[in-house]
């Protein structure tokens, strides 16, 4: 479902910011701020569970991840699952992006990663048993990585 015209400019900024952050020519923080602004504006106009809103922030998975990035990706994935947003493949990609962001966070900020690990794990488990979301085995493997990391006592 395409965004209404009034939001297309902000969406364009988000896409451009994401590409710039991935290529190293832009600010990761700017891309995340733009994603939050877009999501907040859509939520004000359409509500937090509208398909426009739940699909807005998932694109931003920058190369360096802080707790806010993981929170954005996890929260958007949870809302997309709750409302059964389509396409389902986008939700799967969002969950995998949340996992990738969490892995980077685990290297950079283990305490924050521990706080987010349960939510990331829950999403991966749901994804791994969802027959509509192949490849389940790779998602199950990702879930096992989170479990092993938690069990390793990386943060006491």
Task: Please tell me the distance from the alpha carbon of residue 93 to that of residue 88, in angstroms, as a whole number.
Answer: 9
Summary mean pLDDT of the chain: 79
| Residue 9: pLDDT over 70 | yes
Nearest to 57 by CA among 47, 67, 69, 46: 69
Q: What is the pLDDT of residue 111?
A: 94
How would you write 7-74 as a 3-class SS string?
HHHHHHHHHHHHHHHHHCCCCHHHHHHHHHHHHHHHHHHHCCCCHHHHCCCCCCCCCCCCHHHHHHHH
Nearest to 24 by CA among 50, 63, 81: 63
Q: What is the pLDDT of residue 54?
A: 63
pLDDT in tens, 93-151: 888 888 988 998 999 899 999 999 999 999 999 888 776 666 667 888 999 999 999 99
User: By mean pLDDT, which of 42-46, 49-53, 101-105 is the weakest?
Assistant: 49-53
pLDDT band at 20 (very low <50, low <70, confident <90, very high): confident
Task: Please tell me the distance from the alpha carbon of residue 66 to that of residue 57, in angstroms, as a whole number.
Answer: 15
Task: Please tell me the distance from the alpha carbon of residue 148 to that of residue 156, in angstroms, as a whole number.
Answer: 14
**pLDDT cut 70: percent of the chain above it:** 79
**More confident of the two residues 99 and 1:** 99
Q: Find tokens 């991966």 and name the residue.
A: 124
Query: In whole angstroms, what separates CA 31 from the centre of its chain?
Result: 13
User: By mean pLDDT, which of 13-22, 53-62, 136-145 is the weakest?
Assistant: 53-62
């Amino acid at each position: 479902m395409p965004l209404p015209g009034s939001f297309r400019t902000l969406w364009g900024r988000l896409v451009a910011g994401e590409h710039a952050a991935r290529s190293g020519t832009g600010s990761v923080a700017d891309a995340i701020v733009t994603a939050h602004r877009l999501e907040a504006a859509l939520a004000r106009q359409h509500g937090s569970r509208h398909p426009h809103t739940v699909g807005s922030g998932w694109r931003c998975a920058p190369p360096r991840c802080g707790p806010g990035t993981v929170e954005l990706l996890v929260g958007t994935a949870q809302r997309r699952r709750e409302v059964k947003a389509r396409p389902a493949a986008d939700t799967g990609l969002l969950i995998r992006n949340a996992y990738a962001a969490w892995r980077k966070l685990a290297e950079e900020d283990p305490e924050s990663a521990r706080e987010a690990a349960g939510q990331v794990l829950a999403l991966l488990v749901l994804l791994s048993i969802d027959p509509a979301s192949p490849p389940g085995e790779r998602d199950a493997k990702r879930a096992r990585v989170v479990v092993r990391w938690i069990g390793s006592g990386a943060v006491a």
